[in-house]
């Protein structure tokens, strides 16, 4: 933990112990979405219980509209939970119960400082904070206080579900979410519409004269490029106690699998930064390609404003040469 005051730390572990004793994963799963609105926080937290599949037991909490959008993409199978996609698209707080062997030494020190004892499999509480583009990390004090409150009220919702007072699944299917709100010291249960999915980021206007100069200087070839922007499974820390991030890479190969160019970016590059990087790659190339293939729609969205101006067609399809080069590149780098 990151220097969390003892009273807040104890409140957090007490809430986790109570949640573990309730064990709501016995009657809830990750499709049972609900929300908690904390008075004074100005934020709604979207929650889902983990453990119905007997793997990770606990609670995942997604803050605000951005957090909910990432969760809905995961529940709608738009993100692969076994890949690094959620790392790029989701911010969350979480409680999971793990084995002693899986406990980080910082978590163990926090438990010892409170003179707590846990035994058995999936019994040791672990709290994590995840920001988009970053690896899960230890909670700070504000996050610990928030998660303690959300855990208490998630237990209340779970009790309502167990006793038949709430049917969360039918509510979510209607486009609403059950929301617990604290008003004048009392909890009110209301139905709120699910937030709308945010619109994709739009690029700024680019320098068309610069693209004309590139095309005039190097011309076009008959080559086909395969291009992708992907997460590199590496942990980069700027200092020992800083939150580690996962860099992103723009990789370009030709139709025979040779790497044309590659460039590392930070954890959350803007679409403008990605486009500027791609234009620099075009400038370094011996000639412009006649066609570009990408594996995913978001990669196409990054390229299209530039490629459309240069009259280079882009198709979303399989990219076997790029996939092979990426695997070799990551094996050598990691």
Break the chain into its structural domains and give their ranges.
6-193, 208-333
Q: In the sheet where 224-231 sits, what is the strand order?
A: 259-265, 248-254, 224-231, 291-294, 314-316
Instruction: Kindly state the tokens that stand for 292.
Output: 């570009």
What confidence score (pLDDT) does residue 41 get? 62
**Which stretches of the chain drop beneath a pLDDT of 70?**
1-2, 39-41, 81-82, 87, 170-173, 185, 198, 200, 333-334
pLDDT, tens digit, for every residue of 271-293?
Answer: 899 999 999 999 999 999 999 99
Packed helices 105-113 and 6-22: angle between N→C axes, nearest 10 degrees: 100
Cα three-residue angle 241-245-249, rounded to 5 degrees: 150
Q: What is the pLDDT of residue 173?
A: 67
176-183 and 34-38: which strand pairing? Answer: parallel
d(CA 60, CA 63): 10
The encoded tokens of residue 107 equal 């978590």
Asked if 237 and 219 count as a contact pair (C-beta separation under 8 A), the reply is no
Q: In CATH, what is the architecture of 208-333?
A: 2-Layer Sandwich (3.30)
Please name which of 78, 67, 70, 66 lies closest in space to residue 297, comparing C-alpha atoms: 78
Cα 256–262–268 angle (5° rounding)?
Answer: 135
Edge-to-edge strand list for the sheet holding 57-63:
124-130, 92-98, 57-63, 43-50, 34-38, 176-183, 186-193
Residues 6+ apart with CB under 8 A from 167: 161
Q: What is the pTM of this model?
A: 0.85
Smallest CA-to-CA distance from 151 within 230, 97, 215, 79 is with 97
| Amino acid 107: pLDDT | 95
CA 198 to chain CA centroid, nearest Å: 15
């Amino acid at each position: 933990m990151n220097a969390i005051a003892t009273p807040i730390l104890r409140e957090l572990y007490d809430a986790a112990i109570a949640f573990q004793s309730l064990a709501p994963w016995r009657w809830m799963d990750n499709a049972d979405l609900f929300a908690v609105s904390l008075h004074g926080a100005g934020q709604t937290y979207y929650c889902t219980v983990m453990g119905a599949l007997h793997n990770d037991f606990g609670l995942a909490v997604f803050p605000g509209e951005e957090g909910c959008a990432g969760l809905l993409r995961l529940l709608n199978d738009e993100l692969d939970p076994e890949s690094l996609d959620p790392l790029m698209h989701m911010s969350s707080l979480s409680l999971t119960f793990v084995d002693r062997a899986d406990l980080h030494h910082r978590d163990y020190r926090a438990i010892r400082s409170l003179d707590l004892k846990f035994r058995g499999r999936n019994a040791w509480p672990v709290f994590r904070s995840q920001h988009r583009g970053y690896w899960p990390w230890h909670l700070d004090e504000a996050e610990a206080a928030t998660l303690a409150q959300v855990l208490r009220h998630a237990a209340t919702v779970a009790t309502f579900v167990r006793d038949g007072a709430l049917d969360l699944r039918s509510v979510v299917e209607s486009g609403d979410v059950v929301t617990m709100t604290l008003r004048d010291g009392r909890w009110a249960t209301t139905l709120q519409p699910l937030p709308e999915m945010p619109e994709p980021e739009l690029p700024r206007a680019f320098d068309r004269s610069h693209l004309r100069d590139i095309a005039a200087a190097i011309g076009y070839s008959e080559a086909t490029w395969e291009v992708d922007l992907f997460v590199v499974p590496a942990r980069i820390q700027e200092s020992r106690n800083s939150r580690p991030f996962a860099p992103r890479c723009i990789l370009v190969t030709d139709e025979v699998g040779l790497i044309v160019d590659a460039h590392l970016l930070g954890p959350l590059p803007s679409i403008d930064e990605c486009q500027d990087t791609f234009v620099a790659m075009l400038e370094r190339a011996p000639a412009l390609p006649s066609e570009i293939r990408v594996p995913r729609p978001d990669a196409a969205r990054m390229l299209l404003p530039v490629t459309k101006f240069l009259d280079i067609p882009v198709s979303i399809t399989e990219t076997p040469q790029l996939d092979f080069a990426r695997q070799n590149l990551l094996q050598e780098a990691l």
